[in-house]
Structure 1
Amino acid sequence: MIRRPNPSLFVALAALVVAACGQQGEATDAAPAAGEGGEVNLYTARHYDADLRLYEMFEEQTGIRINRIEGNADQLIARMEAEGDNSPADVFVTADAGAMWRAQNAGLLQSTSSETLNSRIPANLRAPGGEWYGFSRRARVVAYDSTKVQPEEVDTYEELASPRFRGRLCVRSGDNVYNLSLVGALIEAWGPEKTQQWVEGVVANLARTPEGGDRDQIRAIAAGVCEVALTNSYYYIRLANGDDAGDREVTETVKLAFPSLDGQGSHVNISGGGVAANAPNRENAVRLLEFLSSPEAQTLVSQYNNEFPASPDVAAPAPVDAYADFTAHPMSVAVYGQNQAQAQSMISAAGWR
């Protein structure tokens, strides 16, 4: 579903541009017509207020109209497959490198040779062949009850599967792409045997049957259901800096830890995009990706969606800057998707529903 834009957010974002001209393309269920020169057809699985403002800014700066189709990643991938060579999609955008890989593996993305993109986005945050690029980062880390858990008890991922947290762990469903990508990263780092043991340890430690999203896991800690939980960093930052007083109160006792994977840093994932295989407006598609990689766009997404910039040259703005001083694991995010089938098999075998 499309989130209703927050008017106050748009007022704040308006200060980032000098003048407004043109009108943003509306999301629609109908396939957009393949325009020439003045259009780009965007299939996006991201539904955030900040993204809407980005599209407005792109239209204002370039005069190129964005025709937007929204859905979840699997729906959009299926749609592009059904449309085949006649697909009007120019750009595919989604959260999670595993979802980007699924689109690439289905032959729905083409290689993009752009010096701008390659200079702005680190090699480990993009597909090696240029099929997609990450524009923002999120860390999959640990929320914990600071009244019951010491920070050193959650400073590695191994500890989540230790007997210390038997019956004290909350986590969303195992087939969620964020968890699939984390397990895919563990397979790459540890190999299948140790990773299978970790997955089984996670299941043994569950305080309840997995349910809800990451924010629900954080709130469950505050409610005493569990002591630790896996979460994407931006969900916690939203609770800590949002308008809801109850959620802000939650983060007074529930804290965020950035565990290390083999001493090399925390697992990170990306939101990103790529040019569709049959893009009718390829030049405009590349221009949109280059815009999304710009310092201006990365800063806006970081500030208003609480993700971290992808580029090390872009400073994290408030409130994200308070959490940005962590070491990110240098692993290529492209391996998450390659290991996804094996990760799903492990998760299913362990009973992580």
Structure 2
Amino acid sequence: MRFLMFTRLAILTAATLPALSGAVQADEVNLYSYRQPELLAPLTDAFTNETGIKVNVAYLAKGMVERLVAEGKRSPADLVLTVDIARLAAVVEAGLTQPVESATLTANVPAQYHDPDNQWWGLTTRARIVYASRDRVAEGEVTTYEDLADPKWKGRICTRSGTHAYNVALTSAYLLHHGEAETKTWLEGVKANLARKPQGNDRAQVKAIWAGECDISIGNTYYMGQMVNDPEQKEWADSVRIVFPTFENGGAHVNISGVAMTKHAPHRDNALKMMEFLTSPQAQKIYAEANYEYPVAEGTKADPLVESWGSFTADQADLMELARLRPAALKLIEQVDFDG
């Protein structure tokens, strides 16, 4: 676990936050987050400036569910904020959240991007797309996720580990669209097309394309924004273009970042205010610019750089269904020894 102090943002240590449960302060709210502190600082600063409510953030690299279970009713956490639907679902399924009824949240967040029982609410989306070499891949050469198993790509694909949460979510979506047998065949086909053993993160795959090790890779959209604005990685970004594949019977696979109120939130009113703020146009704009993601609030535009990548139609898969399919998807990935 690591923490970083920002102006008007209190990042508290693991030892400090639990102590708050015995001395509730009316003008604060406590947040457990898998998101990096530097991504949250602009949001929490803006919220504090608008409401006067101090935000205490504990950044957790892992183990959020285990920590909340151990703390029980004594937990100081009011909100949890995380990426990936599987992580959100895990907190809900562990009985660690409470439903939040809010006309503001309902108005700001489309039904597709919040839990039917209002246990979690989406904040931003990201698409899992294809990065394609500008020099070696023609326009229209890859259009669907199904294409990735075509033998024409043999020795031309790079990806991070198949068991990483982002790839498990994509496999879950494939499983939802095509069933177990076809998904296993697809995984075997993609594996047969790999240029190298799965390794590194999404940006490492783009670097590999730039270096000529492969021609296409699978990655999240926001990494392009991060690379373009990194002097050491801009050359990698310039060597590829973004392609928005779709499922043959659907759209482009998307995942979310989201927020949920904890079951025993000691500052419930403040927590609700923060949830509503995070889905407001003001906060959605900040969020989109900070990490090059797509805002969920209708009428809120993405960052101009993100818009320059082109438009796409998001797949309409039920996100909670994708979370429920995660164990089956992971089993198939391990059966084909994808990373082997």
| Aligned-partner SS, 2:205 | helix
Unaligned runs of 5+ in 2: none
- Equivalent residue for 2:307? 321
Residues 76 and 302 from structure 1, CA distance in 2 versus in 1: closer, same or farther, beyond 3 angstroms?
Answer: same
| Aligned-partner SS, 1:37 | coil
Q: Does residue 23 of structure 1 match 2:8?
A: yes
**Is contact 2:114–2:120 with CA below 8 Å preserved after alignment?**
yes
Residue of structure 2 aligned with 1:184, choices 130, 153, 172? 172
Alignment of 1:51-90 (within 5 A): 51-72=40-61, 74-90=62-78
Matched residue type, 1:291: F
Residue of structure 2 aligned with 1:104, choices 73, 78, 92? 92
The alpha-carbon deviation at position 103 of structure 1 amounts to 1.1
Show CA shifts across 1:68-126 (max 9, x none): 11112x42221111112222211000111111111111111111111111111111111
Residues 312 and 265 from structure 1, CA distance in 2 versus in 1: closer, same or farther, beyond 3 angstroms?
Answer: farther
- Equivalent residue for 1:13? none
**Is contact 1:265–1:328 with CA below 8 Å preserved after alignment?**
yes
The alpha-carbon deviation at position 140 of structure 1 amounts to 0.3
- Equivalent residue for 2:335? 349
- Equivalent residue for 2:279? 293
Distance 1:134 1:343 in 2: 23
Alignment of 1:148-163 (within 5 A): 148-163=136-151
Q: Which moved more, 1:247-256 or 1:149-158?
A: 247-256
Q: Does residue 212 of structure 1 match 2:200?
A: yes
**Is contact 1:99–1:177 with CA below 8 Å preserved after alignment?**
no
The count of residues paired between Structure 1 and Structure 2 equals 335
- Equivalent residue for 1:14? none
**Is contact 1:168–1:206 with CA below 8 Å preserved after alignment?**
yes
Distance 1:146 1:140 in 2: 19
Residue of structure 2 aligned with 1:264, choices 250, 257, 260? 250
Alignment of 1:105-144 (within 5 A): 105-144=93-132
The alpha-carbon deviation at position 264 of structure 1 amounts to 3.1
Distance 2:15 2:274 in 1: 21
**Is contact 1:148–1:227 with CA below 8 Å preserved after alignment?**
yes
**What percentage of aligned pairs have identical amino acids?**
36
TM-score by length of 1: 0.90
Show CA shifts across 1:45-78 (max 9, x none): 0005241111111111111111111112x42221
**Is contact 2:129–2:244 with CA below 8 Å preserved after alignment?**
yes
**Is contact 1:303–1:319 with CA below 8 Å preserved after alignment?**
no
The alpha-carbon deviation at position 259 of structure 1 amounts to 0.3
Distance 2:238 2:11 in 1: 40
**Is contact 1:48–1:305 with CA below 8 Å preserved after alignment?**
no
Unaligned runs of 5+ in 1: 11-21
Show CA shifts across 1:299-328 (max 9, x none): 111112111111231111322221252211
Show CA shifts across 1:245-296 (max 9, x none): x422223331110001125321111111100112111121111111111111
| Aligned-partner SS, 1:154 | coil
Matched residue type, 2:304: A
TM-score by length of 2: 0.93
| Aligned-partner SS, 2:245 | coil
| Aligned-partner SS, 2:106 | helix
Q: Does residue 252 of structure 1 match 2:275?
A: no
Distance 2:210 2:8 in 1: 43
| Aligned-partner SS, 2:304 | coil
**Is contact 2:3–2:59 with CA below 8 Å preserved after alignment?**
no
Distance 1:288 1:211 in 2: 38
- Equivalent residue for 2:185? 197
The alpha-carbon deviation at position 156 of structure 1 amounts to 0.2
| Regions of 4+ moved over 4 Å | 1-5
